[in-house]
Structure 1
Amino acid sequence: MAEPYYITTAIHYPNGKPHIGHAYETIAADVIARFQRARGREVRFQTGTDEHGLKMAQKARDLGVTPRELCDEMSGYFKSLFDTLDISYDNFIRTTEDRHHAASQALWQAMEANGDLYLDRYEGWYSIRDEAYYDESELTDGEGGEKLSPQGTPVEWTVEESWFFRLSHYAEPLLALYRDNPDFIRPASRRNEVVRFVEGGLRDLSVSRSSFDWGVHVPGADGHVMYVWVDALTNYLTGLGYPDETDDFTRFWPADLHLIGKDIVRFHAVYWPAFLMSAKVPLPRQVFGHGFLLNRGQKESKSLGNTTDPVDLADKFGVDPLRYFLMREIAFGQDGSYSPEAIVTRTNAELANSFGNLAQRSLSMISKNLDGKLSITPEADEDLALLAAVDEGVATLIERFEDLDFSTGLDAWMKAVFACNQYVDEMAPWALRKSDPDRMTGVLMTLFKCVRKLAIAVRPVVPGSADRLLDQMGVAADARDFGVLADNTWFAGLVDAGFQVDKPIGVFPRLELPEEATA
């Protein structure tokens, strides 16, 4: 049976329409999910929306709608975006679902049974925008003298009755977790930040609110709703049927990877494992905090007027070029920048001019010079050398993708593409057509094999385009995973079946810079 793999994104806060950061994280998660499926693993990929909390209640009030109406509308925008971006999620969870309320209450009761919850009074700084509590030592002064969180968001002094979680009891177990499992938090820079935070001492955490009622109700405590982060983090369990011992829960928990933004690492790497330890639930294997995506080097904000609708980007440049650019351009885990010029330059140079042109030239010459017919030919030393170079590039891509190092993996893939284009130039099959047609056939068959391997390798990143290319090459839909890369019987099967290559249709057209970007 295929080895299971469970990946989640952070669930997205739908108090506004999705932005490019939501697209970046979810595309990266989709690439990982598709990559693991291509490796033969049984993947469960979950995303969704985080719909409770004071911020949502206030936004709904400002718009004159109910919180539920706001959630229904906004959650639809996220689903629509993910469909546009070809996201292959298995489960889209909404925290307003009954199953999620039941799971959150079950986790609460498990923590309570362990003696880790108590009722007291909360007085302290709270950021509505972050839905986070901050110690005085973490705050800075704004230009007007107002207090700001480490994220630069306003904080308010809050006083209310609250249930508390004994987070202070978990400092040593957490430090032992980080010490014994150095890859639990990645990249290393995030791990170091979390370790310093926990070493500085942990205070008990307020985990309920009594000043509003839009949330999961605390069992047995009228007037209290759960702190939104208790509720939000539980979604990773909800999607597998917790608290029931379902087949999904038994098979996929603990999660292999929680993929999140670097600004919410504390919640996932401190609070979440502490909650799970308290509830006697196994811990996830890894939390990866990716960097921010910057617009021409600047963080997007409405005040700067530089926010980007990811649907517009996908419409202008194409879904697969956008996906490729984000995985190729940015060292995963670090901040990265994008612009229309960068997207056009990168995708034209690599997808259109290099790989797209390689595929188009190879299939066109087979169609034109061989009437589209494939044949078994002897392999010269140059052919074997190229096949070995492609195998090396693909093997490196697989190795680097396994480590979430997408840009380096795609760099190795591009080197294999460049080797193929250099081979075309050196072999000059158009000249061999007259001087040595048998050798021309051998060169074109070698290129056909290489293009197929390269298309399968890059398929997790550009699934639609890769599939359209593989369709034209007669590669069966169930023969496009990494397990078949070394299988050479597929080619003999096409030859025996009399498959013919038609005049190809390019799958990576050159992009033009939109007029507004050149103005």
Structure 2
Amino acid sequence: MTYRYITTPIYYVNDRPHLGHAYASIHADIMARYLRAAGHQVVLLTGADEHGEKIAKAAMQANEAPDAFAQRHARSFEDAWRRLAVGSDVFVRTSSAAHSRVVSACLTRLYEAGEIYLADYEGLYSVGQERFVTEKELVNGKLPEDREPPVVRRESNYFFRMEVHREWMRRLLRDTPDLIQPAQYRHEILRLLEEPIGDLSISRPVERLAWGIPIPWDASHVTYVWFDALLSYVSPLGYPDGADFTHYWPSATHVIGKDILRTHTLFWLAMTHALGITPYRRLLVSGHLLGADGRKMSKSLGNGVDPLAAAQTFGVDALRYALVREVSFGFDGIITNEVIEQRLNRDLADDLGNLVSRTLAMVHRYRAGIVPAPGAYTAGEEAIMARAASLPEVVLMLVEEMKLGRAVEQVMAFVTALNGYVATSAPWTLAKDPALAKRLDTVLHTLLEGLHAVSSLLSPVMPASMGQLRALLGDGGEPGWNVPWGEGVTAGAGVRQGILFPKRREAGVAGPTMSR
């Protein structure tokens, strides 16, 4: 049995989920679904990062206790992932007692090993990112992702000796070219590691911030939110000696956004090395989603897309499909409601939906809605069969590299080939000649079998719609993977007509698109 462990970011719950959160979670979910379909034992983890200064401040502004505020917002993330078909196996909360015990144990272990020390420190502190920053990180006086410039702070903190792990990290990144993907992010971190990175402040005085996990040996300090949150990747697995940790951690794949790249490299790699934890297998880094104005989506700019509203308007599966197809993972890309609607209308309604409607309508018209047994195959059918047989391997290779857009593109090219097959085989002409009845059976069966293959290949991306497609084809079961040709649909079974993707029209009237 092969184990695979995939994680989303542990989202900071000072606000409701936005499209950037949805983008990362949907990509992680789709990867997990493909790997499960291929026979791997998969755990998909997501969760809520609930401690820190921003949470305490937001709770105060909402006139709530921090724990009640965090719980309410954590539930909003859980609800959002359910509504967007993100089927996580574990939802970790950093305020849980089990997680706190792991953090305390790790802190104690590092302190006793001399990896943590107390010192006074004065420097520039980003309230938005909840960390000390350096002058060279600033652009026009502030971090690019912050609204406000950093403030000068002087206080006693406990520090983790991150600098002593710098050379090890450099060697790791040089010797493991595929550890961080896409490659430009690996190069970015290697450039940072050419110079000293300093040590990491991992505590905050209780007199300034009481909402956090206490430092085990000093109750006047709480743990820095990032040191706490990063350990939530291992705490639900029963670290250090749980069976799940043994099975799943060696395959760990983190899916993150590029705005948290440094914490998942400089911080997290140094922490795992100090604790004797094998580094994650792969760090997959997404770019930024941009609004129609070409700028990063922002609530203050009003250029974002609400993922739950978009799902309500266009359908969950259409949103998932558009996010995968429109923006290549690892790169910045524009997503708007108009883009989602175009993908729904053109790819899903016109190409796939129309193929389904035409095929099912012809089976009802010419064979009373019953799946016919095929006759002899020609070169046309052999080509369709060969393409369907090769697609699962091709798709999985691309999925492993988080090239989901290209994987789906391969399947949609097969849909295009099936549409071309309809045109060249002309079932409506065959139906006019009783002598060609068996040939018509073969063509219709080939189309039904091809659509069944599509339903399996696209099920991780659009689980509800592809389940509906299988039901229309007379298969009400779970999606298969690499199903042998001829075992997708059953001769003699009944099919039903239906519309998978109602096309949105300018006048606001939804309806199918059909030809023939």
Inter-partner Cα distance in structure 1 for 2:336 and 2:156: 48
Q: Does 1:311 align with 2:308?
A: yes
Partner of 1:81: 80
Aligned residue identity for 2:8: T
Aligned residue identity for 2:350: N
Partner of 2:514: none
Inter-partner Cα distance in structure 2 for 1:308 and 1:349: 20
Q: Does 1:324 align with 2:321?
A: yes
Report if aligned partners of 2:305, 2:337 keep a CA contact under 8 Å in 1. Answer: no
Unmatched tracts of structure 1, length 5 or more:
142-146
Q: CA deviation at 1:308?
A: 3.1
Matches within 5 A, 1:108-507: 108-141=107-140, 147-153=141-147, 154-210=149-205, 211-243=208-240, 245-296=241-292, 297-374=294-371, 375-435=373-433, 436-475=436-475, 477-478=477-478, 480-482=479-481, 484-486=482-484, 488-491=486-489, 494-495=490-491, 498-502=492-496, 504-507=497-500
Inter-partner Cα distance in structure 2 for 1:476 and 1:341: 34
Aligned residue identity for 1:157: V
Q: CA deviation at 1:198?
A: 1.1
Inter-partner Cα distance in structure 2 for 1:80 and 1:399: 32
Report if aligned partners of 2:289, 2:334 keep a CA contact under 8 Å in 1. Answer: yes
Inter-partner Cα distance in structure 2 for 1:54 and 1:513: 46
Inter-partner Cα distance in structure 1 for 2:295 and 2:139: 21
Aligned residue identity for 2:57: Q
Inter-partner Cα distance in structure 2 for 1:340 and 1:403: 28
Report if aligned partners of 1:52, 1:95 keep a CA contact under 8 Å in 2. Answer: yes
Q: Does 1:72 align with 2:71?
A: yes
Residues 280 and 513 (structure 1), Cα distance of their counterparts in 2 relative to 1, 3 Å cut: farther
Inter-partner Cα distance in structure 2 for 1:437 and 1:376: 10
Secondary structure of residue in 1 paired with 2:170: helix
Report if aligned partners of 1:126, 1:133 keep a CA contact under 8 Å in 2. Answer: yes
For structure 1, which segment, 355-364 or 23-32, has the greater mean C-alpha deviation from structure 2 after superposition?
355-364
Cα RMSD of the aligned pairs, angstroms, is 1.6
Secondary structure of residue in 2 paired with 1:10: strand
Secondary structure of residue in 1 paired with 2:495: coil
Partner of 1:50: 49
Residues 512 and 79 (structure 1), Cα distance of their counterparts in 2 relative to 1, 3 Å cut: farther
Residues 513 and 35 (structure 1), Cα distance of their counterparts in 2 relative to 1, 3 Å cut: farther
Inter-partner Cα distance in structure 1 for 2:139 and 2:410: 44
Secondary structure of residue in 2 paired with 1:148: coil
Partner of 1:35: 34
Inter-partner Cα distance in structure 2 for 1:432 and 1:6: 51
What CA deviation, in whole Å up to 9, does each residue of 1:302-335 have, x standing for no partner?
A: 3322343211110011000000000011111101
Inter-partner Cα distance in structure 1 for 2:333 and 2:104: 39
Report if aligned partners of 2:389, 2:485 keep a CA contact under 8 Å in 1. Answer: no
Secondary structure of residue in 1 paired with 2:188: helix
What CA deviation, in whole Å up to 9, does each residue of 1:249-290 have, x standing for no partner?
A: 121113421000001011111110111111112211111110
Q: CA deviation at 1:393?
A: 4.6
Residues 364 and 394 (structure 1), Cα distance of their counterparts in 2 relative to 1, 3 Å cut: farther
TM-score (norm 1): 0.93
What CA deviation, in whole Å up to 9, does each residue of 1:365-421 have, x standing for no partner?
A: 112211222314221221112222344455433321221111222222121111110
Report if aligned partners of 1:120, 1:162 keep a CA contact under 8 Å in 2. Answer: yes
Report if aligned partners of 2:287, 2:332 keep a CA contact under 8 Å in 1. Answer: yes
Residues 269 and 514 (structure 1), Cα distance of their counterparts in 2 relative to 1, 3 Å cut: farther
Inter-partner Cα distance in structure 1 for 2:127 and 2:197: 21
Aligned residue identity for 2:165: Y
Inter-partner Cα distance in structure 2 for 1:470 and 1:489: 13
Secondary structure of residue in 1 paired with 2:212: coil
Report if aligned partners of 2:13, 2:73 keep a CA contact under 8 Å in 1. Answer: yes
Report if aligned partners of 2:273, 2:279 keep a CA contact under 8 Å in 1. Answer: yes
Q: Does 1:97 align with 2:91?
A: no
Report if aligned partners of 1:341, 1:513 keep a CA contact under 8 Å in 2. Answer: no
What CA deviation, in whole Å up to 9, does each residue of 1:77-134 have, x standing for no partner?
A: 1111111101110011111111111011112122223321111112111111112221
Inter-partner Cα distance in structure 1 for 2:441 and 2:323: 37
